Amino acid sequence: MTTTTTLLRILLADLHESKHNPRSVFDPIEMQELAASLTASGQLTPLLVRPHPKGGYEIGAGACRRRAAEIAGLTHLDAMVRELDDATFVELVNTENRQRHNLNAMDEARGFVDWMKTAGLKIPDIAARIGLSEKYVYDRVKLLQLIPPLQKLLTEGAITPGHGILLARLSSADQERALGSAKSGNGRIGGVFIDDHGGDGFELDDVRKPVSVRELQHWIEDNVRFVPAAVDLPNLFPETEKQLAVAQEEELKVVKITRDWRVPDEAKDPKERTYGEASWKRADGQSETARHSGKAVPGKTCEHAVMGIVVAGPGRGEAFKVCIEKKKCDVHWKAERAESEKRAKANGTGTARESHERERQRYEERRKAEDAERARWKKAMPDLLAAVVEKLAVAPAGMESPIAKALLRRYQHSKGGFTPKGKSAEDVVRLLAFHEIAIDSLNEWRAPTNAPRELKLLGIDAQAIVDRVAPKDPPVQPSAKSADKPKPKKLAGDVRRARKKVKK
């Protein structure tokens, strides 16, 4: 549109900030610096405004200068007055803010949405006008789906736009879980934050800090189940959308899978089965990287293929054909069936299923024994900590002492270094040693293996304390009846099959 521009000197009282200005945060320090510049050098660049329907002028470019001029005690500013329609004006406001100052991500998102609504534009149109990718604009707009506490944290800079983009893709309930309030394992608070134990002097109050974006991604993979119906597939998982269309066209069954041994508890759905890594094989002809060896396993196709969606773990959200027919498919499962039968024969009488059941029982026994041992250490934890405090109070703490060397090794690679404060080096070393032992060596999961060795440096017999506080339960003796019961003799395959026929 053709416009006429007029340069006027306008009273500050007649200059009004626009409702279309996306900026909600004005840095006080920057405003003071800009005010000082106006006082020292005067106004070098005029504002750009348009007539306001209710009188005065609406600022399109120069809202920060208007605020700084008020701080500097000025009464007038130079401004170029131009007749602009809403669509052109909103584009000007958003473009000017992005060029002059870095908007925070939330303000930028609101600006894009206002721009689209006012000018009737779509995400691709905005991307073309600002010279950035459609994904960039989509991710910014998506941030408006963050729950209010996360929007506040992003605006304040407590989390980054990278965190926000990942979180905005989750449901409100999952965002609440990710934000968290209760502490979980390894110092985690939900999925976004982790304990940052005080490094300023002797203060040990917990301060939370955000995990890295990569760590947050791993938390989402392990804790948030992928549900295609609840996800914006066209924009976030376009390949998955294509594969689901293939499944519908070819009338394939859709199953849920994970590349982990089992789906993590937080991502389980009791209403549908999730196949672990040992229960499926890729069946689309594409190679699959083995989790443990890292080697590419050549893909094969078969007539039993179904569509698998990775609902948790690495590759969450991917979809591809898989085979789950262990009993029918010779293309994918022939070797496994042969190995299973071989193990069954090596174990004596019984089918492969019975052999698997025995393996499962042995695993359960080992797991129960490990849980019982951890429970003993947990019960003894107060006594262990008390012993550590007692020994540290008199332990040598010079720079050549064992505990000082251990601490130096632990912290010498810390980001930014580690410079604790205190009355003496000995006090700092003792305090940090206790803190480190309490959260690491005496963690109930690692204590049975780590504590005996590390507490020995202080002259503490950790195992003796555990045995005193939480004695082991006596082993269960087999009953006479079960002890005297004769074990079945192993029979040759032909004889065994013949006896089965007689019984029938």
Q: Is the confidence at residue 420, as pLDDT, over 60? A: no
For residue 479, what is the DSSP state? P
Fold of 5-142: 3.90.1530
pLDDT 10s digits, 257-303: 999 988 888 999 999 999 999 999 999 999 988 776 678 888 899 99
In the structure encoding, which two tokens stand for residue 337, read together?
Answer: 């069936």
pLDDT of residue 492: 47
Average pLDDT (473-486) is 60
Buried (b) or exposed (e) across 232-262, using 16+ Cβ within 10 A?
A: ebeeebeebbebbeebeeeebeebbbbbbee
Which residues lie below 8 Å from residue 179, measured CB to CB, with a gap of 6+? Answer: 147, 149, 150, 190, 191, 192, 193
Contact between 188 and 159 (Cβ < 8 Å)? no
pLDDT of residue 144: 94
Average pLDDT (179-208) is 65
The whole-angstrom separation of Cα 117 and Cα 130 is 17
| Domain chopping of the chain, boundaries | 5-142, 146-223, 236-334, 375-469
pLDDT of residue 133: 92
In the structure encoding, which two tokens stand for residue 233, read together?
Answer: 């597939």
pLDDT of residue 203: 45
Neighbours of 349 (CB within 10 A): 14
Q: Is the confidence at residue 447, as pLDDT, over 80? A: yes
Q: Is the confidence at residue 165, as pLDDT, over 80? A: yes
Task: End-to-end CA distance of the chain: give it in Å, rounded.
Answer: 95
The top-scoring range by mean pLDDT among 57-71, 317-331, 349-363 is 317-331
Q: Is the confidence at residue 164, as pLDDT, over 50? A: yes
Q: Is the confidence at residue 419, as pLDDT, over 50? A: no
Q: Which of 184, 203, 106 is nearest to 195 (CA)?
A: 184
Neighbours of 183 (CB within 10 A): 15
More confident site: 149 or 496: 149
Q: Is the confidence at residue 483, as pLDDT, over 60? A: no
pLDDT of residue 317: 96
The top-scoring range by mean pLDDT among 95-109, 313-327, 387-401, 469-483 is 313-327
Average pLDDT (88-107) is 80
Tokens 């041992």 correspond to what residue? 373
pLDDT of residue 414: 40
Tokens 């005029």 correspond to what residue? 46
Per-residue pLDDT band at 417 (split at 50, 70, 90): very low
Percent of the chain with pLDDT over 90: 33
The CA-based angle 64-69-72, given to 5 degrees, is 130
Q: Kindly report the average pLDDT of the chain as a whole number.
A: 82
The whole-angstrom separation of Cα 96 and Cα 62 is 9
Count the helix, strand and coil residues of the chain and give each as a percent rounded to the nearest 5. 50, 15, 35
φ/ψ region of 110 (left if φ > 0, alpha if ψ in -120 to 50, else beta) reads alpha
Average pLDDT (26-34) is 81
pTM of the model: 0.60
pLDDT of residue 454: 81
Diameter of the chain by CA atoms? Answer: 112
CA 112 to chain centre: 27
More confident site: 491 or 67: 67
Contact between 170 and 190 (Cβ < 8 Å)? no
The alpha-carbon radius of gyration of the chain (Å, integer) is 33
pLDDT of residue 421: 47
pLDDT of residue 340: 78
Average pLDDT (14-21) is 85
More confident site: 196 or 498: 196
Per-residue pLDDT band at 490 (split at 50, 70, 90): very low
pLDDT 10s digits, 64-85: 888 888 888 888 888 888 888 8
More confident site: 158 or 414: 158
